[in-house]
Amino acid sequence: MYFSGSLLTTEEPPGREGCAVVLGQKPRSAAQQRHSVTATVSKMAGADGDDSLYPIAVLIDELRNEDVQLRLNSIKKLSTIALALGVERTRTELLPFLTDTIYDEDEVLLALAEQLGNFTMLVGGPEYVHCLLPPLESLATVEETVVRDKAVESLRKISQEHSPVDLEVHFEPLVKRLASGDWFTSRTSACGLFSVCYPRVSSTVKAEIRQHFRTLCSDDTPMVRRAAASKLGEFAKVLEPEYVKSDIISLFTALASDEQDSVRLLAVEACVSIATLLPQEDLETLVMPTLRQAAEDKSWRVRYMVADKFSELQKAVGSEITKNDLVPAFQNLLKDCEAEVRAAAANKVKEFCENLPEDNREQIIMTHILPCVKELVSDTNQHVKSALASVIMGLSTILGKDNTIEHLLPLFLAQLKDECPEVRLNIISNLDCVNEVIGIRQLSQSLLPAIVELAEDAKWRVRLAIIEYMPLLAGQLGVEFFDEKLNTLCMAWLIDHVYAIREAATCNLMKLVEKFGAEWAQNTIVPKVLGMANDPNYLHRMTTLFCINALSEACGQEITTKQMLPVVLKMSNDQVANVRFNVAKSLQKIGPVLDSNALQTEVKPVLEKLATDSDMDVKYFAQEAISVLALA
């Protein structure tokens, strides 16, 4: 079979060595490469010498090039090569070649592992999908973790395309070979494949798979036990209920007591899946002893994992166990000696409280959780305080108005005065929760100093963050409070020395006008913005133009034509070219808002003048504006 034009034909031309020879050689120099491409094209094109096949020939030849980037490029276009070769030659020549060359750079192997997962139709469909197993098996044993993971991902994908018979004949033996491999790399890869083939094989093979998984859970190498622990929950989900109790629980207990904390913390993840599979009466005896042990583990990483998964564990074990066991455990995590654990637990406070049984939710929070929260508000670690500040406002909707005013409000006020900007910012960003319950006026006097401090913070990212919350605050505080206390602040951001702040402040004005209306803008914002047109700093003059661009649509035709347009036209005489070409861009932006008379009599003459400007950029943008506004 060879290429004739763009079609495959079964005739074989004289002297054809075929692609197997082309593919099967070692990497060569660039000079050899150029010579070989020509030879490859002539062989592939046959008697017609059709140059349309040249790109395919180049890709095939690049698979053997000594340049890593060229090989990577070719691997990423492997499907194109396979389409050109056809399904039979892809199976008999391309795949064996790829299998034999699994010695390449990691980035090439990663791309290959990804490509092979989408190759089913290119080898002839599900009937021949097993042909993809040899190269993927080799990739699943390499040293680089990301390559192995990608190979396992592709194997899991193509396993679904195997028929039950092919799964037992081809796929399951591969899993066994990986599971009993000499190197830990193959055994770690095997852990990710048990769950995808288990449901579709015979009971005899299922027993063998369970045995292999048990063996890997007690492997001598920690990396293998870690891989097994990470897949324990997933494997438990596909097992029959009787084997969850007889096999999985003992493996879970063993892994949760492993000498390596990296294994124990992964067992905590599995605990969520296992708990959902067991009836409520078995949880207390089979799961809770191990979970209690994990919550008090000597390693902070394990305790951190318990804190991080706490809401999921809470849902899995149910309300009764939550009341008796998880509430005390959560209290301990909130008081943990390690800041990372306290921060993870603090992050779950709102979610944990929401999921408590409604009949005694308020009593549990007030008696057990709130005292711990009060301590965390003055924690020595800023990450803990910041994590708490991001969720604490949510408690107000759970506890109601009276409890919020009496117990939570003092905590909010304390956090608004915190020395850490992130804490203050997190409180301000969640004000809408409190506004729903008690109204924001209760906080307004403490809010103002916190907002002003954040608005003037030395870190520009903090200033940027508070700008983004300004429309939300304005809507909650009302127009009078805003004009009195915050308007000056918003205008000051327009002349900040950081461009990102000036840009955000411009967007902020547009959102405020949308919230408060065009009349408010005309009286309060527009005069101040237009006053900046005479600023000695050209950057501030440009900010005027940016504001006009943003405000024109929200303010409407009348305000734009009568108040904004004259200022823009006057600025066309500015000495700085950057200002002049931004005038052209502004006229293009506000043009659709103006009526045709203003465009013809006022805008067109100015753009025509700018189109003859000495500066190239000014000319370009003026001509573009004339074209877009159809003023030519």
* Percent of the chain at pLDDT exceeding 90: 29
Domain boundary among 126, 161, 196: 161
Dihedral over alpha carbons 201, 202, 205, 209 (to 10 degrees): 50
Pick 61 or 111 by higher pLDDT.
111
Question: Per mean pLDDT, which range of 7-16, 232-241, 622-631 is the poorest?
Answer: 7-16
Question: Per mean pLDDT, which range of 37-46, 528-537, 551-560 is the poorest?
Answer: 37-46
Contact, 564 vs 530, CB < 8 A? yes
Does residue 448 belong to any structural domain of this protein? Answer: no
Question: Per mean pLDDT, which range of 93-102, 322-331, 372-381 is the poorest?
Answer: 93-102
| Average pLDDT of span 278-304 | 88
- In this prediction, residue 26 carries a pLDDT of 42
List Cβ neighbours of 458 (8 Å cut-off, separation of 6 or more): none
Does residue 25 belong to any structural domain of this protein? Answer: no
Say how many CA atoms lie within 13 Å of 277 toward its Cβ. Answer: 23
For CA atoms 312, 314, 319, 321, give the dihedral sign: positive
The Cα-based distances of 8 to 2, 11, 89, 92 in angstroms read 6, 9, 11, 15
Number of helices (H), then strands (E), belonging to the chain: the values are 48, 2
Rounded CA-CA distance 2/7 in Å is 9
For 420-476, write each residue's pLDDT tens digit.
888 888 888 787 777 777 766 666 776 777 778 888 888 888 888 888 888 887 887
Number of domains in the chain: 2
pLDDT at 52 over 70: no
Does residue 430 belong to any structural domain of this protein? Answer: no
Does residue 528 belong to any structural domain of this protein? Answer: yes
Does residue 468 belong to any structural domain of this protein? Answer: no
For 495-513, write each residue's pLDDT tens digit.
889 999 999 999 999 999 8
List Cβ neighbours of 140 (8 Å cut-off, separation of 6 or more): 148, 151, 152, 155, 178, 185, 186, 189
Domain boundary among 110, 128, 161: 161
- The domain spanning residue 541 has which CATH number? 1.25.10.10
| Average pLDDT of span 576-593 | 92
pLDDT at 332 over 90: yes
Rounded CA-CA distance 135/141 in Å is 10
For 3-26, write each residue's pLDDT tens digit.
333 323 333 333 333 333 334 444
Domain holding 583, by residue range, is 517-631
Give burial (CB, 10 Å; 0-12/13-18/19+) of 567: buried
Does residue 553 belong to any structural domain of this protein? Answer: yes
Does residue 261 belong to any structural domain of this protein? Answer: no
- In this prediction, residue 337 carries a pLDDT of 92
State the residue for tokens 């929401």. Answer: 354
Domain boundary among 135, 161, 187: 161
- In this prediction, residue 428 carries a pLDDT of 80
pLDDT confidence tier of residue 301, bands split at 50, 70 and 90: very high
pTM: 0.71
Burial 499-531 (b: 16+ CB within 10 A, else e): eebbbbbbebbbbbbeebebebbbebbbebbbe
Contact, 312 vs 268, CB < 8 A? no
> What are the residues facing 28 on neighbouring strands?
65
| Average pLDDT of span 383-403 | 89
Long-range contacts of 69-73 (CB under 8 A, 24+ apart): 71/104, 71/105, 71/108, 72/105, 72/107, 72/108, 72/111
- In this prediction, residue 34 carries a pLDDT of 38
pLDDT at 107 over 90: no
Does residue 532 belong to any structural domain of this protein? Answer: yes
- In this prediction, residue 55 carries a pLDDT of 57
Question: Per mean pLDDT, which range of 281-285, 295-299, 616-620 is the poorest?
Answer: 281-285
- In this prediction, residue 360 carries a pLDDT of 86
